[in-house]
Every structure is written in C-alpha cells, then in structure tokens.
Amino acid sequence: MTQQERQAFIRSLPLADIHRHFDGSIRPETLWELSEKYYSAVPGLDFEQFRHYLQWDDDLDNTLLDYLDKFHVPLQYTQFYDNIRRISYELAEDAWNDGVRLLELRLNPFIHRRAGLTTRQVIAATRKGFSTFGAEHPEFRAGIIVIAMRNHGGNMARILLREVIGEKEDYHAGVGVVGFDIAGHEAPYPPMLFKDAYDLATTMGLKKTAHAGESEGPERIWEALEYLGPQRIGHGTSAGQDPELMKRLARDGIYLEVCLSSNLQTGAVSDLKDHPLPRFLDAGIKVALCTDNPTVSSTCLSREYELAMEHFGLSEKDVVELARMSCQGTFLASGCHCKFPSAE
C-alpha cells in the first residue's frame, strides 16, 4: 500500500481522539494574531521564529523540558473568555477536518484564570466553542476531561473537582465534563498523593484516567492502579517493560492512551521502532491511539495512524480495529457512535 493509499484509507474512517490537550493544540496562526492584537507584534520575531516557541524542532529540542517549554507562550492568550471560546471552536474544526468525530479534550482550568476568570467560566467558554461547532456538525461529539497538575498537590485537585461538579456532562444538553486526570512531573508526585481526589471523582460519578509511566517506570502505573482506580492510563509507555503489568492491564480492560509522536519527542521511547504499541496489542491490552498535543508535536490523528502502519506493519483490518477500540474507550455517556466498516 502506497503512502497515498494509506492516507486515503485512514481518512475514510471515523476517528476518536481521547487524549488531546487544550493548550498544546492551538493554531500557531491564531496565537500569532492574538500576539499582534495584545502586543502589536512580538519584538524581534517573525511568524516562523514565533512558531519555534510553540512546536517541537528536531534540530533544537531534545528533552521533556524542551517539550514542556512549548506551553508557556499559549498561556498568555488563554486567559480571556472569548479567546478560549474561539480556540475551542478551532480545535473542534481542526479535529473534524482530520476525520475526528469524537474528541475528549484535556483542560486544566486553573492555569487559565490569571486574568480573573473562574473555573466554571473557563469550562463554559470551552463548552461554548465546542457546542457551536457541534450545532453546525451534528455528527461531532466532544467532552472535557479536567486535569489537576501534580505539582499543585492533592488538596488543589479536590478543590478543582468541587468547582466543576456543576459542569458535568449530565447537567448540560451538549458538552460537559466527563472525566478527571492528573498530569505533570511524575517523579516527585506519586499517585498516592491524589487518592482522596480520585475517591471524590468516583463519588461525583466522573470517569478516571491518569498520566503515568511516561517519564517514570512501570512502578508508577502499578501505583496508579492501586491508589486511583483509573479506567484508562495516559501514555503508560513503560508498561512495556513489565510483562506482569501488561497481563494486569489486559485482564482488567484498562485502556492505554498511546501518543506515538509525543512519546518519541519527550524521550519515553528513543526510537519509534522500539515503541511497545505492537506488544500492547499482542498482549490483548485495550489501546486508544491519540495525539496528545497536535501543535507541539506538529502532528494530527490521521498522521499518528500513518506512523503506526508504517512502523509496525498494521493491516487495514488492524487499523479498523484500533480505530474502533479507540472510540469505544470514550468517557462520553453516549458511548461510541461511529460507524466502522467490517474488519473482515
């Protein structure tokens, strides 16, 4: 199958992206426009230089810290309701144009409150952008997963959850909060610090996922399973080092949210050919192929499927099953509504 044939086949499928971050998915052109609006352009930079502050550069960037640095500039422009609403609409539009019909967006409301917005206003602006796009494209479904940052601690995670209880999907006709997540530096902030927050999320009726095993070993995934009880694990790359953990994940039907480009750039894997994705699939682990941060990684979901086909020899049948499985992993109350061709 040629590259063009692979692309056409992937684009024929209804895709689901259930691990995509708000602040890592903003159009560079939008951020540049906003920079000119607020600052009358950025002194000394043209647009191509500006993009470097937003997107991974193989020639200049090497580490996880380089990757995380890409999130600083967008935060200057995501402190205002109308900007968040516009960006959310554009996020939905970009996903739709790439064949995504089901999108779960990761959002940490706290980091968008520096100009005075409340947590509920940040979520309301995101909902508004998604709902406006959804009204124009009835086949599009979206939900919000709120993220607590590890370095903010367990108490702040519980405060965040209490602030979003009225934003749950159950209470809104369209888009709402469907899940809870923790993200950030793994090493100093073990999962046990967030046990009470995850217990509260369970009481609230939210589904649960947790970033684990991206920059740390499989022990962090074991701990997340023990203390947090998630239905899904964000990345979980280091699970490939532990056969017993892979058996546990397969046995309990725990999803791994796999992001190939991001895993390579952050150093979770040193080479894509060494990524454990094929071993996860062979072990019977449920996998959702996702983008993580399309702008930072200069990727899109269809490109991630292309990479999987190119590097791991996935057949058309394999790709259909992976796309179906990714959709079925959703936290949306309506479940997977996408129609897939027969895998025979």
Task: Give the dihedral of Cα atoms 224, 225, 228, 234; nearest 10 deg.
Answer: 60
The pair of three-digit structure tokens given for residue 124, joined into one six-digit string: 């309301």
The dotted CATH code for 3-27+78-328 is 3.20.20.140
Contact 10, 316 (CB under 8 A): no
18 pLDDT above the threshold of 60: yes
DSSP 41-63: S-TT--HHHHHHTTS--TTT--S
Considering only the C-alpha atoms of the chain, give the largest distance between any 2 of them, rounded to a whole number of Å: 57
Measured between alpha carbons, how far is 172 from 48 in angstroms, rounded to an integer? 40
Contact 131, 92 (CB under 8 A): no
Contact 216, 238 (CB under 8 A): yes
pLDDT band at 42 (very low <50, low <70, confident <90, very high): low
Which residues, other chains included, contact 253 with Cβ-Cβ below 8 Å and sequence gap of 6+? 286
344 pLDDT above the threshold of 70: no
Entry pTM = 0.95
The residue type at 52: H
Which residues, other chains included, contact 77 with Cβ-Cβ below 8 Å and sequence gap of 6+? 26, 31, 34, 35, 38, 83
Give the start-to-end residue ranges of the domains of the chain. Answer: 3-27+78-328
pLDDT band at 218 (very low <50, low <70, confident <90, very high): very high
Measured between alpha carbons, how far is 344 from 69 in angstroms, rounded to an integer? 45
Contact 242, 220 (CB under 8 A): no
pLDDT band at 80 (very low <50, low <70, confident <90, very high): very high
**What 3-state class would DSSP assign to 168?**
strand
DSSP code at position 189 = S
Which residues, other chains included, contact 185 with Cβ-Cβ below 8 Å and sequence gap of 6+? 150, 151, 215
Closest CA to 210 of 152, 150, 163: 150
Q: Return the pLDDT at 162.
A: 97
Q: Which helix (H) or strand (E) element contains residue 328? A: helix 316-328
Task: Give the dihedral of Cα atoms 142, 231, 226, 149; nearest 10 deg.
Answer: -10
284 pLDDT above the threshold of 70: yes
Task: Please identify every residue annotated as catalytic.
Answer: 214
- The mean of the pLDDT values for the chain is 94
Q: Which of 43-57, 78-92, 237-251 has the lowest mean pLDDT?
A: 43-57
Q: What are phi and psi of 303, to 5 degrees?
A: -65, -40
